[in-house]
Amino acid sequence: MKFSRVAQDITLKKLSLGYPGKVLMKDLDAVLPAGKISVILGGSGCGKSTLLRHILGLNTPVSGEIFLGDTNLTDLDSGEEYKQIRTRMGVLFQDGAMLGSLTLGENVALPMQEHTELPDSIIEEVVQMKLRMVGLGDFMHYFPNQLSGGMRKRAGLARAMVMDPTTLLCDEPSSGLDPITAADLDQLILKLKETFHVTTVVVTHDLDSLFNIADHVVVLHNGRCLYQGDVEGLQQSDDEYIIDFLERRPTEIDHSMERAVKFRSRV
């Protein structure tokens, strides 16, 4: 089977997902448009990263389907087909997930060495180019533990882009970073989308990132999709949770605190 080299929509159809004994999300329908940045927004533990793992095929959905263009990803059970489609998907994990025993150059070269028959000299040139693209051209021979968190994530982006994917998936790219580094990373994601026209999915709960990069937003809460559409529509939403989220208004902790105070007064 040949897979397209053009950016495609990711479509979630009646998708239910979770872990054995726990359904995190039920009957999720969403379209993440081609060539745009879709931000999946939601509180901690709402299943955003789990959704990303399902799109990547690391987890199997309880029910429902995930399409990349016309290809049903949930039907691809053979290793070879999935291998092919994975070369079209770049992934930036939450902490970069760079292999600690390899240098940045070796990390970025890994997918090319595995999936192409290119000579080492060409691979090295491509790797150098990709590292320069993320501003790490001088760090090719450094090990991941010699770099800051932000640099590791940029290196993760270089590795994600090394096979020129049509889809880029980022799991909480700004988590654990200072606001300036996070904004730099947002700009980099934006630049990658504009330059390479990749379908980008960013899982985050960072509102600054949302307003910096999102073309399309999907809001998840309590196992369902509260909103999908553009950022302007999100800001005009009258849903109570979305208003609380956008205004950074604490909810559950407030109630817990009230309960704790009541309990304390009784003691």
Partner 1 sequence: MNGLQVLAWMVSRLLGCLRLKPGNKKSFYRKRLLRDLASVGADSIPIVSVISACTGIILALQSAQQLEKVGAISYVANLVGVTIIRELGPLLTAIIVTGRSGAAFTAEIATMQISEEIDALEVMGIEPVRFLVLPKLIAMLIMVPCLTVWADFVGIFSGGAFSAIALGINEVTYFNNTVEFLKLHDVLAGLVKAGGFAVAITIIGCWQGFLAREGAADVGRKTTNSVVISIFMIILLDLFFTALNFLFR
Task: By CB under 8 A, name the binding residues for partner 1.
Answer: 53, 56-58, 82-84, 86-87, 89, 91, 93-95, 97-101, 106, 109-111, 113-115, 120, 159
Closest approach of partner 1 to the CB of residue 176, in Å: 13
Residue placing its CB nearer to partner 1 in the complex, 113 or 251: 113
- Residues 71 and 77 sit within 8 Å (Cβ to Cβ): no
How near is the Cβ of 266 to partner 1 at its closest, in Å?
A: 36
3 backbone dihedrals φ, ψ, rounded to 5°: -105, 145
Name the residue nearer to partner 1 (CB basis): 4 or 113. Answer: 113
Q: Are 111 and 187 in contact (CB under 8 A)?
A: no
Nearer to partner 1, 100 or 248 (CB): 100
Could you tell me the smallest distance in angstroms from the CB atom of residue 201 to partner 1? 13
CB of residue 60 vs partner 1: minimum separation in angstroms? Answer: 12
Is 87 or 181 the residue whose CB approaches partner 1 more closely? 87
Q: Does residue 173 sit in helix, strand or coil?
A: coil
Q: How far is the CB of 24 from partner 1 (least distance, A)?
A: 17
Task: Return contacts of 12-15, CB within 8 angstroms, 24+ apart.
Answer: 12/51, 12/64, 12/65, 12/66, 13/64, 13/65, 13/66, 13/67, 14/63, 14/64, 14/65, 15/51, 15/54, 15/61, 15/63, 15/64, 15/65, 15/66
- Residue among 8 and 212 whose Cβ is closer to partner 1: 8
- Tell me the closest approach of the beta carbon of residue 241 to partner 1, in angstroms: 29
Report the alpha-carbon distance of residue 204 to residue 209 in Å, rounded.
8
Ramachandran class of 185: left when φ > 0, alpha when ψ lies in -120 to 50, beta otherwise: alpha
Q: Between vectors from CA 108 to CA 183 and to CA 117, what angle results, nearest 5°?
A: 145
Calpha distance 58→158 (Å, rounded): 21
Q: Which is nearer to partner 1, 57 or 135 (CB)?
A: 57
